[in-house]
Amino acid sequence: MFDEYAAAQRAVDTLSDHGFPVGRVAIVGIGLRYVEQVARRMTTGRAALAGAARGTMIGLIFALLFGIFFTVEQGFLALVVYSVGLGAAFGAIIRAVDHAATGGRRDFASTAHMLAERYELQVDSEAAERAAAIIRDRAGPSSQD
């Protein structure tokens, strides 16, 4: 058992370093919980601004992709400006309308994470004894039995 995911990763790395077939290993989280950290209040204006930023990036990607077929003389710069502007406008409108359509049911921005209390390695029964020996001999004090 491992208290931290990083320790379980190190154990798998140790197995890999010793030639163990790591395709037979799974890292399993025990005691899972869902944590959603609220970051800030979301307004229609903030939603539109976020949509504009995402639309700008999408417009830029399309402009660069289609820009392969243009030279500077043929209007590559105009293509970039047009694509970025159009992407920003459509992104802002779509996100603003989408946010307004929720009717205030979710007026916040957040990030979500799955967290586990501890982690364990699960290995095929045929290879479990070898894996345990490698980890016991090489992993050091970060593992627990």
Alpha helices, DSSP H only, in the chain?
5-17, 44-66, 76-101, 128-138
Digit-coded pLDDT (tens) for 73-90: 777 888 889 999 999 999
Positions in the chain whose pLDDT score sits under 50? 139, 142-145
Digit-coded pLDDT (tens) for 117-139: 999 999 998 888 999 899 888 74
Domain chopping of the chain, boundaries? 1-32+116-145, 36-115
CA dist 36 and 86 (Å) reads 33
CA distances from residue 120 to 28, 44, 130 in whole angstroms, order as listed:
5, 44, 16
Q: What is the pLDDT of residue 144?
A: 47
Q: What is the pLDDT of residue 140?
A: 54
